[in-house]
Amino acid sequence: MTASATYTPPKVWKWEGQDGGAYTSTNRPIAGPTHEKELPVGKHPLQLYSLGTPNGVKVTVLLEELLALGHEGAEYDAWLIRINDGDQFGSGFVEINPNSKIPALMDHSTEPPTRVFESGSILLYLAEKFGAFLPSDSALRPECLSWLFWQMGSTPYLGGGFGHFYTYAPEMFEYPIDRFTMEVKRQLDVLDRHLAENRYMCGDEYTIADIAIWPWYGGLAIFQQYGAAEFLDVESYTHVMRWAKEIHSRDSAKRGRMVNRVRGELHEQLRERHDASDFETKTQDKIEAAE
Ligand SMILES: N[C@@H](CCC(=O)N[C@@H](CS)C(=O)NCC(=O)O)C(=O)O
Query: What pLDDT does 7 receive?
Result: 86
pTM exceeds 0.85 for this model: yes
Atom of ligand 1 nearest to the CA of 81: 12
Query: What pLDDT does 23 receive?
Result: 74
Output the CA–CA distances (angstroms, integers) from residue 27 to 100, 156, 177, in the order listed.
11, 16, 21
Q: Which of 49, 55, 62, 82 to mutate to test the pocket of ligand 1 (most atoms within 8 A of CB)?
A: 55
Q: 132 — phi, psi (to 5°)?
A: -145, 150
Atom of ligand 1 nearest to the CA of 86: 17
Atom of ligand 1 nearest to the CA of 51: 9
Q: Which of 24, 81, 102 to mutate to test the pocket of ligand 1 (most atoms within 8 A of CB)?
A: 102
Query: What pLDDT does 24 receive?
Result: 74
Q: Which of 26, 62, 101 to mutate to test the pocket of ligand 1 (most atoms within 8 A of CB)?
A: 101
Query: What domains sit in the chain, N to C, each tagged with a CATH number?
Result: 140-255 (1.20.1050.10)
Atom of ligand 1 nearest to the CA of 122: 20
Positions in the chain whose pLDDT score sits under 70: 1-5
For residue 114, the surrounding DSSP H or E stretch is: strand 114-117
Distance between CA atoms of 62 and 206, rounded to whole angstroms? 11
Query: What pLDDT does 5 receive?
Result: 66
Query: What pLDDT does 118 receive?
Result: 98
Ligand 1: residue whose CA is nearest its atom 8: 101
Residues with Cβ within 6 A of ligand 1?
Answer: 26, 53, 55, 83, 88, 100-103, 118-119
Residue range 215-271, pLDDT digits in tens: 999 999 899 899 999 999 999 999 999 999 999 999 999 999 999 999 999 999 999
- In 3D space, the residue among 197, 190, 127 whose CA is nearest the CA of residue 158 turns out to be 190
Question: Given CA atoms 168, 263, 227, 49 in this order, what sign does their dihedral have?
Answer: positive
Pairing of strands 104-107, 76-80: unpaired
Query: What pLDDT does 3 receive?
Result: 47
Ligand 1: residue whose CA is nearest its atom 2: 118
CA 55 to centroid of ligand 1, rounded, Å: 7
